[in-house]
Amino acid sequence: MIIGFCNKVAGWPSILKDLGYKVDWIEPKLFNSEGERVVPDIMLTSNKFCHSLIIECKGGKSANKEQIKKLSRLTVESIKDRASIYDPSRLNLDICFASFMKDSENIIRLTKKYSFPALLFSDTQMRREGEFKSKHLNEKLTDAIHLDGYPPTNYIPFTSDDDINLIASYVLQEIVSITLKHSRDDEITFDTEDILERIFPVWKKFDIEAKKKLRNRVDNILREISRRKLNEYLKKIKGRPTWVAKSLQAFRKECEKLLEDLGKKYTIQEKLF
């Protein structure tokens, strides 16, 4: 949603782009004033206003005191060399949290001491809680922003917390793409790691914990694909580098059935944990 605010995209407001913000870094590895490593979710920079905005996106329960304390020690010095800006000596910094309104109580309580502003989302609007140092941001976000469209969601394919059938859709897309791009008739082999590297071009840089969680989830999906013998649809016609559309349509129907079943199966399991 926040990346969407930095672009002109039909169906979603470009409130941050209007102030000159661009997505500067995703998960930048910063050092705070105490020399501690901090990895916030996103850093936006406006060359126009010589300002960077670091945003940590949190569900209410996932916020912890230690992390907030580390974030509070980030200073302009922590980002000066990395912000895409024409005059780093004039750079200013704001740090804020983004959360869904329904989960925001805990965040607001934990961050109160540091006076961090927050961007709070509901299905229909986003509003500012607290004050930014940047007057331009305060002015732009004086009133709640109506979100009557749909956010662009494909900049980052999925996270380890997304629905299993969404992750499975990406896995199936990748498998079809690999198979079609494979020009020879011999067997195509791939594993979980290959699939994730293709889906996420920056997979190698992912955090170890996130990698582990995603690997487990994709392993489950590949096992299910293999159990259902979907790979039988992926054979090419012998001796001809071609496919038959009919089999692709049948494959699509089977994939849709798989997604539906995965959704039911894993939603129940995940609720239990």
Q: How far is the CB of 130 from another protein (least distance, A)?
A: 26
Q: Which pairing describes strands 118-121 and 92-100: parallel, antiparallel, or unpaired?
A: parallel
From the list 20, 37, 36, 19, the residue with the least C-alpha distance to 28 is: 37
Torsion, Cα 40 62 210 162, to 10 degrees, reads -110
Of the candidate spans 60-68, 109-117, 251-259, 264-272, the one that interacts with another protein by CB under 8 A turns out to be: 251-259
Structure token pair of residue 150: 């749909």
Q: Which residues of 146-161 are buried (b: 16+ CB within 10 A; e: fewer)?
A: ebeeebeeeeebbebe
Amino acid at 41: D
- Looking at the Cβ atoms of 145 and 178, the one nearer to another protein is 178
**205 binding another protein? (CB under 8 A):** yes
- Looking at the Cβ atoms of 17 and 128, the one nearer to another protein is 17
Residues 6+ apart with CB under 8 A from 139: none
- Looking at the Cβ atoms of 130 and 151, the one nearer to another protein is 151
Judged by CB under 8 A, the chain residues 81 through 110 that form the site for another protein are 82
**3 binding another protein? (CB under 8 A):** yes
Give the span between the Cα atoms of 271 and 80, in whole angstroms: 43
**169 binding another protein? (CB under 8 A):** yes
Q: How far is the CB of 138 from another protein (least distance, A)?
A: 26
Q: How far is the CB of 61 from another protein (least distance, A)?
A: 23
201, 227, 268, 271: residue in contact with another protein (rule CB under 8 A): 201
Judged by CB under 8 A, the chain residues 55 through 84 that form the site for another protein are 82
- Looking at the Cβ atoms of 8 and 48, the one nearer to another protein is 8
Specify whether the CB–CB gap between 37 and 29 falls below 8 A. Answer: yes
Structure token pair of residue 86: 């024409």
Given the rule CB under 8 A, which residues bind another protein? Answer: 3, 7-11, 23-29, 39, 43, 82, 149-150, 152-157, 165-166, 169-170, 172-174, 176-181, 200-202, 204-205, 240-245, 248-249, 251-252, 255-256, 259
